[in-house]
Structure 1
């Protein structure tokens, strides 16, 4: 059940090849190996089983998952009959399910067993959760923005891994110090992990204390003793995000209570237009006034206390970008830097070490 559940998001999407909606079952020794792929992400899971006769077949992913989920039986008996049909017995229930011969299933990508480095699972969870929300959608013209940039950096004797995402209107950066020497990791200058790969990598790491990672120019491989996943990397150039970060001077500082700001934004968002979620922020002294207007519904206004000593500002931003950024942060107070009405907004905090977000302004 657990293995089939992990394979559902990989196999159940509309594609040109019918067999990609199937899971490959390989029975050998005392192990049943389940494999699914969409040619971008491939996942192979080994589960213990009692094997009477070795063999292989592919079965419809969604249907076999539904059978196992609804069966209510602690054990299943799967038996191949003629013409790639299987009989499945679960308690008093018997199902006959049509499969496809296994020789039509795409081959699983090859990888070297000696190229892996072990990481704590939470390292990748922390990195992914801080950047996944700002990956561009598939309709984005800049192809590389539909991926996350994975980088390594050595500062003196300390090693860091960094993930960066952007949809062209905002930028999210998260880095974590790691105990492994990153010089031995095969990251190239542009290691781009597609959004689907990032989503599946997160699921893979979620309930694992440690994972083994290998990166080449074309693929990322993550595994443990029971499963292995291969993600095909994208090719392209990610924008030089460092210049954007350096362009925001850390001078005009606003300190805001994160929870109060987040709750206020959610209230104001009730009256934003659906497409752009535009809100106005008026900052003067220690007060921020948030307002939104919807041509069909009406308007909203809210006010919160902040710490600010600069010149008054009237700003326009996409409300949803602020909400999504604040939701992944953990601090009590957010340090915000906005130089003028037309400059980007940089957000970070001492509590959210390694995280930085930049949001571009909108014209009011």
Structure 2
């Protein structure tokens, strides 16, 4: 059978938008730049995969002829986006070509046979646990900025560690990320019983998967989640995402947290500190963004220097009664951490001139960040 169907432009565009980041990754397999289109009763199924993340979306359509084929993801997205018509009609002709009618516009587009498209991963329909979507959105937002880049030699750091815990009959889930120079931890208490979640010894979600997980949770009230040995599945009534989990050993992050004594505390107003850091960052070297923090009783002086253009200095009022400290840090790391925090006042804990800095606040419950010092 040759595919022939009509789809609402807005519904089609929303689904195609969600698939773009997955299907447009440059790879060795040309078919991965396409999306699979299949009829299913009075719906069509749209599928994209990069072999690490797969997403299948069901949308309503008027099915005139059932069938399946693949079309270039970017080009069909552009056609639908630029269309002035309320509906899009796709009719398959010979050799996987299609004629697309959108109002008075007609397009001939070359597709590829669906038999070359990778099979969507199978998964167990049982063991799904329902969560409020904002729980995961909030977790990811607080840790995504400190995941290592894809160029990192230690590939485990290009993933997020996911954990569950039960304390005093309360359930918690936690995400941890680190790029080797900083560490972010975000934990949330949830109403769902975490004993229902079946996790392996170490659950590592790759960076691309985390990014798509966050997008999946946007504009949804709830999601169903299931962790299997090698994959994570997230779904609702109309879409399912499968993320291939990574294997490896995440660094023992608790030992790093425990090494910082929480008795040498500096209280800082978050927004004035953030604004000061942005000003000081104007004069840092591009690669390391090194700044100097000179901390004394109730005062902190921030300074930076660039060999080519000059230097900058800024002063902030703080609450501190410990020994004077002189440290170097990557300014960008502080900026990115403070941007995801929400409290008006933050607590910074620094033991000595060579110690990492632990940041947290009473308002940002469950969150902490550790930034390693730099040599001045």
Normalization by structure 2: what TM-score?
Answer: 0.96
- Give the equivalent residue in structure 2 for 1:200: 212
Residue equivalent to 1:98: 110
Which residue of 273, 289, 301 corresponds with 2:285?
A: 273
Q: Deviations over 1:225-250 (max 9, x none)?
A: 01000000000000010000000000
Root mean square deviation of aligned Cα = 0.5
* 2:374 counterpart residue number: 362
CA distance in 1, matches of 2:153, 2:76: 38
> Separation in 2 of the partners of 1:76 and 1:181?
44
Q: Work out which of the residue numbers 260, 271, 291 in structure 2 matches 1:259.
A: 271
CA contact (8 A) 1:151 1:189 kept: no
Structure 1, unpaired ranges of 5+: none
What is the deviation of 1:28? 2.7
Shift in Å, 1:222: 0.3
Give the Cα–Cα distance (whole angstroms) in 2 for the partners of residues 51 and 324 of structure 1. Answer: 48
Say which SS state the counterpart of residue 161 (structure 1) adopts: strand
Mapped contact 1:24–1:102 kept (Cα < 8 A): yes
Which residue in 1 is equivalent to 2:18? 6
Q: Deviations over 1:56-107 (max 9, x none)?
A: 0000000000000001211011000001100000000000000000011000
Residue in 2 aligned with 1:330?
342
Hey, what does 2:34 align to over in structure 1? 22
User: How far apart are the structure 2 equivalents of 1:72 and 1:167?
Assistant: 46
Question: Could you tell me how far apart the structure 1 residues matched to 2:289 and 2:131 are?
Answer: 39
Gaps of 5+ in 2: 1-12
* Equivalent-residue separation in structure 1 for 2:371 and 2:66 (angstroms): 56
Aligned partner of 1:231 in structure 2 is 243
SS at structure 2 position matched to 1:26: strand
The aligned counterpart of 1:285 is 297
Superposed displacement of residue 180, structure 1? 1.1
Contact 2:34 2:70 in 1 (8 A): yes
Residue aligning to 1:56: 68
| Pairing of 1:292-331 with structure 2 (within 5 A) | 292-331=304-343
What is the aligned partner in structure 1 of residue 355 from structure 2?
343
1:182 to 189, 194, 211: 194
What's 2:52 paired with?
A: 40
CA distance in 1, matches of 2:359, 2:183: 10
Alpha-carbon shift at residue 189 of structure 1 (Å) = 2.2
Shifted more, 267-276 versus 138-147: the winner is 138-147
CA contact (8 A) 1:86 1:98 kept: yes
CA drift of 1:188 comes to 1.4
Cα distance, 1:114 vs structure 2: 1.5
Contact 2:44 2:60 in 1 (8 A): yes
For residues 231-273 of structure 1, give each alpha carbon's deviation from its aligned partner in whole angstroms, at most 9, with x where no partner exists.
0000000001000000000011100000000000000000000
CA distance in 2, matches of 1:217, 1:133: 26
Matched, 1:76 2:81: no
Count matched residues.
364
Whether the aligned pair in 2 keeps the contact of 1:321 and 1:359 (CA below 8 Å) is yes
* Structure-2 separation of matches of 1:28 and 1:143: 39
Q: Secondary structure at the match of 1:264?
A: helix
Check if 1:212 corresponds to 2:228: no
Equivalents in 2 of 1:297, 1:8: separation in Å? 42
Q: 1:131 aligns with which of 143, 164, 180?
A: 143
The secondary structure found in structure 2 opposite 1:363 is: coil
Aligned pairs for 1:101-116 (under 5 A) are 101-116=113-128
Distance in 1 (CA, whole Å) between partners of 2:265 and 2:40 is 63
SS in 1 for 2:95: helix
Are 2:127 and 2:196, in contact at CA under 8 Å, matched by a contact in 1?
no
